[in-house]
Amino acid sequence: MGIDLPLIWAVIILFGVMAYVMMDGFDLGIGLLFPFVADKDERDVMMNTVAPVWDGNETWLVLGGAGLLVGFPLAYSVILSALYLPIVFMLLGLIFRGVAFEFRFKASEQHRHWWDKAFIGGSTVAAFSQGVILGAYIDGIPVVERGYAGGALDWLTPFSLFTGMGLCVAYALLGGTWLILKTGGSLRARMIGLTRPVSWALFAVIIAVSVWTPLAHPAVARRWFSLPMLLWFSPVPVLVALTFWKLRQSLHSEPRAGPFVLSLCLVFLGYTGFAISVWPNVVPPSISIRDAAGPPQSLGFALVGALLVIPMILGYTAWGYYVFRGKVDASRGYH
């Protein structure tokens, strides 16, 4: 038959993870930036800027998990086993912040600060864990006889801790530039000041990971630095440099949507680089999407539902962002 089901599912999952990073990244970033804003009203505004679109994490994360189980059961079982503890930390962090998000509005004045702390803690743990998961995944997962063959703490390496921090920086930049777009007055001014050093930090992180990964993994180095691959992929680093330069510029003029869009571009380019390094493996360094794919009867059966529902979710999301355009201030609040 002519349909390449494993490829379609790989694209769905890659798209789902990207949608997750793009849409949940900035609202996790809001949680990371919460400690830098003490004023209660300004914190309310920060929350209100994500309340109408705060849904990325559950939808795309659950879809990503279920999609991985459908498409690549072997990858689902091996990756989640290898990264057991960081995944548990991430899930608990997300639960904590998700519920804190809702109950913060419903709590009385004297209890609210507890939910604030839960929101900050949950966001930080979730963002950091995701970065650790990313780093450990790039580092590769040993597999013997279709089972994870490493130890309980194999994920804990200098590289994964670095990517954990790196992802927090990326999310903080997304959150900060989102607030520049959606707010005004002193909060926006503070965010402009804050995102300048954060954008430098992210640039440094991208360079560090780009150097570290090929040095540590010869396969990744071969992918990037052999001809003709080098020519095909050279636009990626060039675009990163260009985007960063534009981002710096936009932060110094009177910024509106520019910094947020450019930050999204940076994150997207980083994600592209990651996909180039790993493809066509679903469990680095050696299990490809063909090796790990589930039975075609299963992939085809589930694809029908996915193709019906995913466009609906995208439509809903796009409609939501459209309705929610414009600035949020203290008067146009949550209520």
Partner 1 sequence: MWTPDALQLARIQFGFTVSFHIIFPAITIGLASYLAVLEGCWLHSRNEVYRTLYHFWSKIFAVNFGMGVVSGLVMAYEFGTNWSHFSDFAGGITGPLLAYEVLTAFFLEAGFLGVMLFGWKRVGPELHFFATIMVAVGTLVSATWILASNSWMQTPQGYEIVAGRVVPTDWLKVIFNPSFPFRLAHMGVAAYLATALMVGASGAWHLLRGRDDPGIRTMTSMAMWMLLIAAPAQAVIGDFHGLNTREHQPVKIAAIEGHWQNAPNAGVPLALFAWPDSKQEINRFAVEVPHLGSVILTHTWDGQFRGLKEFPAQDRPNVAVVFWSFRVMVGLGLLMIALGIWAGWARWRGTLYRSRLLLLCALFMGPAGIVAMLAGWITTEVGRQPWVVYGVLRTADAVTRHSVAELSLSLALFVVIYFAVFGAGIRYLLRLIAVGPGADGTTQVTGGPGQSRHALRPLSCAPDPLGQPGGAP
- Of residues 247-276, those binding partner 1 (CB under 8 A): none
Binding mask 52-81 for partner 1 (x = CB under 8 A): xxxx--xx-xxx-xxxxxxx-xx-xxxxxx
Quick one: 78 or 198, whose CB is closer to partner 1?
78
Interface with partner 1, residue 315, by CB under 8 A: yes
Interface with partner 1, residue 127, by CB under 8 A: no
- Of residues 148-177, those binding partner 1 (CB under 8 A): 148, 152
Quick one: 76 or 178, whose CB is closer to partner 1?
76
Interface with partner 1, residue 88, by CB under 8 A: yes
From the CB of 107, what's the least distance to partner 1, in Å? 7
Interface with partner 1, residue 85, by CB under 8 A: yes
- Of residues 274-303, those binding partner 1 (CB under 8 A): 294-295, 297-298, 301-302
Binding mask 17-56 for partner 1 (x = CB under 8 A): -------------------------------x--xxxxx-
From the CB of 219, what's the least distance to partner 1, in Å? 24
Interface with partner 1, residue 208, by CB under 8 A: no
Interface with partner 1, residue 316, by CB under 8 A: yes
Place of tokens 């670095």: 162
Q: Which residue stretch of 22-30, 217-225, 241-249, 308-316 sits at the interface with partner 1 (rule: CB under 8 A)?
A: 308-316
From the CB of 265, what's the least distance to partner 1, in Å? 23
